[in-house]
């Protein structure tokens, strides 16, 4: 699942390609929006909220609507020049095409695609916790939400977007390694939870604006992470083997030596 910085970058791509432009046409390839035509609408804003994308549009009469999408594991937006070949993904994965005089935005394999009045966005994203890359970032509120369930494993709590919005598997694993915390430690037993939350925000902010995500400071291939994607490889701190647990969207990587098992009393 994409991290918050990837979604932020995607929102910027749409903002750079569409902001202020009047749509000359739209093509929705999902049943619930198949008859919608946004021709004549102006792109007013492109924003991210955690892992959600919100493209805000205004009609010639001043009506404001938001096109909501979620990338999940496979989704992507690409912006092309008129006449340019669409090379992002196979054509059968296209879910929406938005055309302007100067660009064409193509959404591939998007999830939760919805169109709703902008003043009702909270129905889709109002449950989210503070956005690590948003203007509403509030570390104290993030800590409060995380602490509300002290028995919950910290790795699970960090992925819950209701606590804080934007952390996925990569940052979860890297953050816990950097703090030396065993992933299944109960939240209530995590030392310096505010420090962990602050570091998480710093990690995402450091990668905002670039597609290569690095938590080590290096952008060289194979050197961008401490534990994520490195099962059985030597830990960069202790040289012991990195462990992996889980499958799909809930994979956890950690170093058993640097993140020792937490024993409750």
114 is catalytic: no
Non-local CB neighbours of 13 within 8 Å, separated by 6+ positions = 77, 78, 79
Cα–Cα distance between 30 and 28 in angstroms, integer? Answer: 6
174 is catalytic: no
51 is catalytic: yes
Select which of 123, 202, 250, 260 is catalytic: 250
The two tokens of residue 43 are 């792109």
Q: Count the neighbouring beta carbons within 10 Å of the beta carbon of residue 94.
A: 19
Select which of 51, 95, 145, 179 is catalytic: 51
Per-residue burial over 207-236, b = 16 or more CB atoms within 10 Å of its CB, e = otherwise:
beeeeebbbeeeeeeeebbbbbebeeeebb
3 is catalytic: yes
Do the Cβ atoms of 134 and 165 come closer than 8 Å? yes
Q: For the chain, what is the radius of gyration of the CA atoms?
A: 20
Do the Cβ atoms of 89 and 109 come closer than 8 Å? yes
Which residue matches tokens 């390839």? 29
Select which of 3, 45, 121, 174 is catalytic: 3
Q: Closest Cα to residue 132, out of 45, 208, 219?
A: 208
Q: Closest Cα to residue 180, out of 219, 234, 237?
A: 237
Instruction: Calculate the alpha carbon distances from 56 to 48, 95, 104 in Å.
Output: 11, 18, 16
Q: How many Cα neighbours within 13 Å face the side chain of 150?
A: 5
Residues recognised as catalytic: 2-3, 51, 250
């Amino acid at each position: 699942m994409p991290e918050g910085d990837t979604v932020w970058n995607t929102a910027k791509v749409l903002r750079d390609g569409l902001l202020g432009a009047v749509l000359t046409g739209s093509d929705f390839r999902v049943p619930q929006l198949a008859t919608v035509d946004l021709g004549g609408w102006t792109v007013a804003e492109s924003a991210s909220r955690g892992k959600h994308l919100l493209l805000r549009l205004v009609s010639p009469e001043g009506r404001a609507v938001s096109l909501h999408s979620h990338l999940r594991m496979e989704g992507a937006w690409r912006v092309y020049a008129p006449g340019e070949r669409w090379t992002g993904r196979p054509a059968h994965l296209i879910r929406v095409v938005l055309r302007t005089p100067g660009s064409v935005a193509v959404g591939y394999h998007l999830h939760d695609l919805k169109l709703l009045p902008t003043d009702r966005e909270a129905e889709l994203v109002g449950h989210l916790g503070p956005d690590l890359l948003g203007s509403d970032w509030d570390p104290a509120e993030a800590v409060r939400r995380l602490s509300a369930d002290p028995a919950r494993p910290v790795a699970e709590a960090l992925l819950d977007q209701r606590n804080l919005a934007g952390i996925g598997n990569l940052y979860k694993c890297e953050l816990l390694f950097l703090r030396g915390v065993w992933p299944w430690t109960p939240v209530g037993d995590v030392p310096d939870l505010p420090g962990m939350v602050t570091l998480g925000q710093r990690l995402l902010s450091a990668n905002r604006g670039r597609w290569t995500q690095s938590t080590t400071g290096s952008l060289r291939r194979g050197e961008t992470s401490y534990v994520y994607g490195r099962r059985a490889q030597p830990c960069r701190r202790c040289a012991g083997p990195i462990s992996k647990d889980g499958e799909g969207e809930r994979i956890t990587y950690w170093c058993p030596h640097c993140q020792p098992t937490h024993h409750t009393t």
